[in-house]
Amino acid sequence: MKNRKINYLVKSLLLGLVLVTSFNCERELSDDARLATYAKTAEIFTDSFVGMGSNFYFPYSGSKPTAWSVDETEGYNSNASLRFDVPNSNDPEGTYAGAIFRIDGAGRDLTDYDALTFYIKASQGVTIGELGFGEDFEQNTYMATITNVSVGTNWTKVIIPIPDASKLLQERGMFRYAAGTQGTNGFGYTIWVDDLKFEKLGTIVPLNASIMNGANVTRDTFVGLESAVNGIITSFNMPNGVNQSVTISPSYLNFNSSNSSVATVNEAGIVTPIAAGTAVITATFNGQPTAGSLTLNCQGVFANAPIPTRNQANVLSVFSDTYNNVPVTYYNGFWGGSTTGSADFSVNGNNVLNYTTFNYVGIALTNPTLNTSNMTNVHFNMYIPGNVPPNFSFLISIEDWGPNQVDNGGDDTRQQIFVNASQVQPNTWVTIEAPLTLINRNNIGLIILENINGSSLTNFYMDNIYFYN
């Protein structure tokens, strides 16, 4: 007992010494410490680059990497400007011009400004797809973009509002652009940008914001299947009196879940279902509620499709994680009046095709076409979440494009597989199999899935699409 009292005493003395030392250290640190600060430089390019470093231009995938240069003969009341040569749509080096300008080094403190501004003109009247800032190819936390910007042949000023400057304490993404030839029949052109900088105008008024493009969207989901709040658009009244729409990153908003025991939402707008039930995701912008919402109906733990057991040697797989898949040009091809979208997802490493707002869709096997002459059957797994529509009627068409391997080339043949309501169940993976009856089937180019007979199916999953012997 005596030894224990001594030990307690020693420990108490040591604890007191630690506390005294900690307090002393804390006082000394508070006297000497300084908060990290970042440059508040407004200018990005005014005849030359300002504070950008040496490695700051990063083209988008598929864009022409050499589209940008500095033009020493053209400028807005100056001697130089940024020049962007948008290529022809058939240019082998890239079909459009697009990139980000990211500071090579520490970011900037932009809290004193309310807009990115610059002067722009083009070699002809064009519409620029996207202009903005905040993209850094890392987190892209605070992007802001205006779209479909009309540009003429004379210098005009462009103003892109900063949605919430208080958040831009160390921003690296100074400028972004994407310009194609959709409005010029595929022919290239040139645009110039000058006097690129941040400003405090004081005449920009935030109006409102929306998520999910202002709609009240409902999604069926499962535990652990993350989804994103998207369609985030803000509106500002500009100095010229015009209202300007700006597409922004989710991090400018504050999100809320009506039932955090069912689904949580983080600052990046990523929603994670954690239990069966319903949760409504809403948001505020600058303290005001946004239009639109996302309602998640979580059905619990997701059950993957049955794992195929056939030997790979007897299978030509179009979509399955069990087999090696053949080359597929696309899983969601559309033409004419197709409304079908994709919300494909992965659960526990298993990939699933999810077709939404469905009416019809094409899966293309064109590079090359698929030789199934040694196969005897075709297999699909299908899952309809929620309820099966009472007027359900579904058609699968398999097209062989013939020796010329051209769609509608005059030698096409087609097999049709009809699926009726008695063959499917709600919230259950069902297997659809049929023998291949095509006489010629060594140039399969297309699989078409479609509603027929007025069927109102809008949402379903597909997995394990394959031919087998």
Is the residue at 283 inside a domain? yes
Q: Are residues 123 and 238 in the same domain?
A: no
Q: Establish if 307 belongs to a structural domain.
A: no
Residue 4 lies in a domain: no
Confidence bin at 12 (pLDDT 50/70/90): very low
Q: Is residue 18 scored above 80 in pLDDT?
A: no
In a domain, 22, yes or no: no
- Of 298, 321, 337, which marks where a domain is finished? 298
- Residues 79-105 pLDDT 10s: 999 999 999 999 999 999 999 999 999
Q: 168 with 261, same domain?
A: no
**pLDDT value of position 224:** 86
Residue 414 domain-assigned (yes or no): yes
Q: What is the pLDDT of residues 146-197, one digit of tens each?
A: 999 999 999 999 999 999 999 999 999 999 999 999 999 999 999 999 999 9
What average pLDDT does this structure show over 252-259? 98
Output the pLDDT for position 17. Answer: 32
Kindly report, residue by residue over 317-331, the tens digit of the pLDDT.
999 999 999 999 999
Amino acid 296: pLDDT? 95
Per the structure, the complete domain to which residue 121 belongs is given by 43-199
Predicted confidence (pLDDT) at residue 280 exceeds the cutoff of 60 = yes
Highest mean pLDDT: which of 9-13, 157-161, 356-360? 157-161
**Range from 6-15, 196-205, 283-292, 326-335 carrying the lowest mean pLDDT:** 6-15
pLDDT band at 462 (very low <50, low <70, confident <90, very high): very high
Verify that 320 and 292 share a domain, yes or no.
no
Residue 29 has pLDDT above 50, yes or no: no
Tell me the average pLDDT across 332-357.
88
pTM of the model: 0.76
* Residue 11, in any domain of the structure: no
- Rounded mean pLDDT, 111-128: 98
Do 154 and 243 lie in a common domain?
A: no
Assigned domain for 30 exists:
no
Q: Each residue of 212-223: pLDDT tens digit?
A: 999 999 988 899
Residues 413, 463, single domain; the answer is yes
199 vs 334: which has the higher pLDDT: 199
Q: Please say which residue of 199, 217, 246 terminates a domain.
A: 199
Instruction: Please give the average per-residue pLDDT across 105-109, as a whole number.
Output: 96
Please, which pLDDT band fits residue 36 given cuts at 50, 70 and 90? low
Res 347: pLDDT: 83
Is residue 10 scored above 60 in pLDDT? no
Among 274, 298, 322, where does a domain finish?
298
Domain CATH code at residue 258 = 2.60.40.10
**pLDDT of res. 7:** 35
Reply yes or no on whether the pLDDT at 24 is more than 50.
Answer: no
pLDDT over 90 at 349, yes or no: no
Pairing of strands 393-400, 413-420: antiparallel
Mean pLDDT for all residues in the chain: 91
Residue 413, classified by CB atoms within 10 Å of its CB into exposed (0-12), middle (13-18) or buried (19+), is: middle
- The verdict on 325 and 398 lying in the same domain is yes
Residue 28 has pLDDT above 70, yes or no: no
pLDDT, one tens digit per residue, over 42-80 is: 999 999 999 999 999 999 999 999 999 999 999 999 999
The average pLDDT across 291-311 equals 94
Residue 32, pLDDT above cutoff 50 = no
The verdict on 275 and 327 lying in the same domain is no
Q: Are residues 190 and 293 in the same domain?
A: no
**Domains contained in the chain, number:** 3
Indicate whether 7 belongs to any domain: no
Same domain flag for 345 and 435: yes
Same domain membership, residue 273 and residue 190: no
What CATH number corresponds to the domain at position 98? 2.60.120.430
In this prediction, residue 348 carries a pLDDT of 77
Q: Does 120 lie in the same domain as 58?
A: yes
Residue 142 shares a structural domain with residue 51:
yes
